[in-house]
Amino acid sequence: MGAEAKLAELNVQLPKPPKPAGVYKPVVQVGAMCYVSGHGPLRPDGSLACGKVGSEVDEQQAYEAARITGLAILATLKTHLGSLDRVVRLVKSLGMVNAVPEFENHPKVINGYSDLMREVFGENGVGARSAVGMGSLPGNISVEIEAIFEVVGS
């Protein structure tokens, strides 16, 4: 089953892709590789999920923030490619968690994103990954994720 059919089966609606907040491109494609710029947790109403994990936001809320960040990434990628069925596989992701110094469960937070990618792309949605803590993120967003995808066609 393709990614588009899987999204429909899961009854997942992609948000409007976010507009760049600076001087950069949301996606740069080089051959069969798509490099997706960092995305934040964009809610369906257009607001962002904000707050420092471990003080203002708990681990479950941060997991959900990572999941909706994945939806924003998919929306941007679909806009660039025309169809998510062109995705061959997720190659690599970097998940950044805005957390207090004592917080240690960064990988569990970023699993919100990784679980979504596996749901949509199957085992091809499981790539290499780093999950790290940050002292701050733009606008106090809870998570930011960037990704690299292999795609069919150029």
Q: If you compute the radius of gyration of the chain from its CA atoms, what whole number of angstroms results?
A: 15
What element of type H or E holds 29? Answer: strand 27-30
**Which run of H or of E encompasses 66?**
helix 59-81
Residue 30's pLDDT band (cuts 50, 70, 90): very high
The mean per-residue pLDDT over the stretch 3-27 comes to 93
* Mean pLDDT taken over the chain: 96
pLDDT value at residue 21: 85
pLDDT at 86 over 80: yes
Looking at residue 154, its pLDDT comes to: 63
User: Is residue 153 pLDDT above 80, yes or no?
Assistant: no
Q: Report the pLDDT averaged over residues 84-106.
A: 98
Res 46 pLDDT > 80: yes
Question: Taking the model in full, what pTM does it have?
Answer: 0.96
75 and 17 in contact (C-beta within 8 Å)?
Answer: yes
Instruction: Say what the pLDDT of residue 62 is.
Output: 98
Any idea where the domains of the chain sit in the sequence? 3-13+42-151
Per-residue tokens: 69: 């960040």
Q: Are 80 and 92 in contact, with CB atoms under 8 Å apart?
A: no
Taken in order 61, 63, 66, 68, the sign of the CA dihedral is negative
**Fold annotation for 3-13+42-151:** 60s Ribosomal Protein L30; Chain: A; (3.30.1330)
Question: pLDDT tens digits for 51-65?
Answer: 999 999 999 999 999
pLDDT of 113 higher than 90: yes
Which H or E run contains 134?
A: strand 128-134
- Which residues are registered as beta bridge partners of 149? 34, 90
Q: In what order do the strands lie in the sheet containing 33-39?
A: 27-30, 33-39, 143-151, 87-98, 128-134
Position of tokens 């679980």? 115
- Which is it for strands 128-134 and 87-98: parallel, antiparallel or unpaired? parallel
